[in-house]
Structure 1
């Protein structure tokens, strides 16, 4: 292990069962917010810097800085994801075993505790505790979906004071403001809601809100007046899309890497959208191989895809 770690996700690792009407079920698919956000960050790590990406589960093929924690009294987290049709739109998710969550306290006496950035997948109450962090790294909060509700709005605002980046998807962002969120996509309202959270965030009141909006792309807001919309790498219905599971988490990991590299919200969003494209080309995680001193994910050079996307006309 290296003593210096740039990023650790405290999201979950889940063994998923994925069902859709026209396909046989896919069993034991490795996923979860922790796995996919780590993927997003790892995609942009050079071969000489992979061990600066921290990970709490067994992903040896990615050459990450690995810590293994075993709880003999608990079952691994398992989930059931069911799509209602073949458009990857309406879906239901449920845990088949109680979720296993990780906190900085689990990293005591490991290099991972000193990471420069931490990703939390948590409720408002959980993220305010931060469970053992002694320094002040970059804190990234992805809210627990079922906690996104009107009655928790003030708790969310309070929790935002403890974080630097807040990243709900567009439905999770609307839920604390609307008792019955509209099914229509409303970008103007999303900008207003995101600005309210941004103004409440961090030590300076100008934190970054990253709204992951699926087929509608991404919105990044930083108070008082920075608002950036970018399209997804693949448009809706693209033949390359096999399963959108994990795309938002992967976007977030890529965004964090882009922010660490550039400190520019638009540039970081480009990283995020490129990262998400690798999550949706297959069921589960993309393949990694090495060829001529290059890493190829699904046979593609990541920075080559980054350059191609960056040079496209924007909205």
Structure 2
């Protein structure tokens, strides 16, 4: 239920995930025979929140927190959809302004053009409630310089709460949260390269897509098959991700899946929907890629703090019988939970591409939660079973 002015901790529960991205109403043009659509729930905040919500499930829905700024033109049906998710969403209404709106246009190879149609209202660390500031994870979409300032401001506010004994526990406020950063696509330029490397040292996960990573280093794109591009990854890791250099570079590559790297580990996970999988039906389950990357990272953030919950148990139950996989997990040690989080992220993105806008939530007669008429954990199971077969047949393809 959207909650005006009240947050999860105000009602006695903790916050797992908080996005500092914006809510936007989208207008989308596809560049083909499909007509344009308007008033679509969008923006990085919406998609990241629904990604986190998929992983959290109904039991932990209120641990997902975000902010929606609405204007005089905000449609009531959009609020109904947001309410149905049951997250700790804070609605901030200002009838003196218009809701932030944007235009999205798609071209060849899912290249997206983007522009704002109304003034934007971005989030600051000061926008967050005390409960949100104490979130276990944060999701940001911004420039490198803004990334640094947001991380510093959030850590400063947490330290202030610790000193004032405002936190539920001093230990909780003192613990460093997980920061997941999407570089602003418009600022993935050669001129921003050095600042990108500096900002990466402030976060735990940095995630450009393959085109953005390429343009950051003066290239047309990035490919795992290219030796120079693999060296580019090594340069980023050597520069350092995270305060201790133990963070991850996660490269989102659309229908090719994702490539994740740390100084000691790497893994490739295929996309949930594979090209040609529905040839017999002559249809593709992929309708609109808008927001898939945001939902991937929202789900990844939530997955990183969901050890022992339903998705984690499903992955363990499927893969436990693979000796090859068990060796992989053992080698990852205390970072083993990253693998499960990436699986959850991949599955979440698979839901988002199946329609224009956000996936649809419903409930079965037995009261089970469904998204696009499917249980999230069931898709985690199906995807993990496919992964099991790949690992057994060709483990080098994955790790």
**TM-score normalized by the length of structure 2:** 0.73
The 8 Å contact of residues 41 and 357 in structure 2, kept in 1 or not, is answered as: yes
1:186: how far off?
A: 4.6
Secondary structure of 1:24's aligned partner: coil
Partner of 2:325: none
Mapped to 2, the partners of 1:176 and 1:90 lie a distance apart of: 16
Structure 1 pair 183–208 and aligned structure 2 pair: CA distance change class (3 A): closer
Mapped to 2, the partners of 1:62 and 1:18 lie a distance apart of: 23
Residue ranges of structure 2 left out of the alignment (5+ in a row): 1-6, 69-78, 159-175, 279-283, 308-334, 391-396
1:183: how far off?
A: 8.1
5 Å-filtered alignment, 1:135-214, equals: 135=158, 136-178=176-218, 180-182=219-221, 186=225, 188-199=227-238, 200-214=240-254
1:215: how far off?
A: 1.2
Mapped to 2, the partners of 1:12 and 1:188 lie a distance apart of: 37
Secondary structure of 1:220's aligned partner: strand
Secondary structure of 2:29's aligned partner: strand
Partner of 1:125: 145
Partner of 1:255: 300
Mapped to 2, the partners of 1:185 and 1:231 lie a distance apart of: 13
Correspondence 1:62 to 2:58: no
1:198: how far off?
A: 3.2
5 Å-filtered alignment, 1:21-36, equals: 21-36=32-47
1:207: how far off?
A: 0.9
Secondary structure of 2:45's aligned partner: helix
Structure 1 pair 48–74 and aligned structure 2 pair: CA distance change class (3 A): same
The 8 Å contact of residues 195 and 222 in structure 1, kept in 2 or not, is answered as: no
The 8 Å contact of residues 251 and 276 in structure 1, kept in 2 or not, is answered as: yes
The 8 Å contact of residues 286 and 297 in structure 1, kept in 2 or not, is answered as: yes
Mapped to 1, the partners of 2:230 and 2:377 lie a distance apart of: 30
Mapped to 1, the partners of 2:258 and 2:52 lie a distance apart of: 17
Mapped to 2, the partners of 1:169 and 1:182 lie a distance apart of: 9
Mapped to 2, the partners of 1:62 and 1:190 lie a distance apart of: 40
Count of residues in correspondence between the two structures: 310
Task: Tell me the C-alpha RMSD between the 2 structures.
Answer: 2.0
Correspondence 1:44 to 2:55: yes
The 8 Å contact of residues 210 and 222 in structure 2, kept in 1 or not, is answered as: no
Secondary structure of 2:127's aligned partner: helix
Correspondence 1:228 to 2:267: yes
Mapped to 2, the partners of 1:281 and 1:184 lie a distance apart of: 26
Secondary structure of 2:369's aligned partner: strand
Secondary structure of 2:35's aligned partner: strand
Correspondence 1:266 to 2:339: yes
Residue ranges of structure 1 left out of the alignment (5+ in a row): none
Partner deviation per Cα, 1:23-55 (whole Å, 9 max, x = no partner): 111111111111111111100213221111102
The 8 Å contact of residues 174 and 193 in structure 1, kept in 2 or not, is answered as: no
Partner deviation per Cα, 1:140-180 (whole Å, 9 max, x = no partner): 111101111111111111111211111111111122212x4
1:101: how far off?
A: 1.1
Secondary structure of 1:67's aligned partner: strand
Partner of 1:76: 99
Mapped to 1, the partners of 2:357 and 2:123 lie a distance apart of: 22
The 8 Å contact of residues 220 and 265 in structure 1, kept in 2 or not, is answered as: no
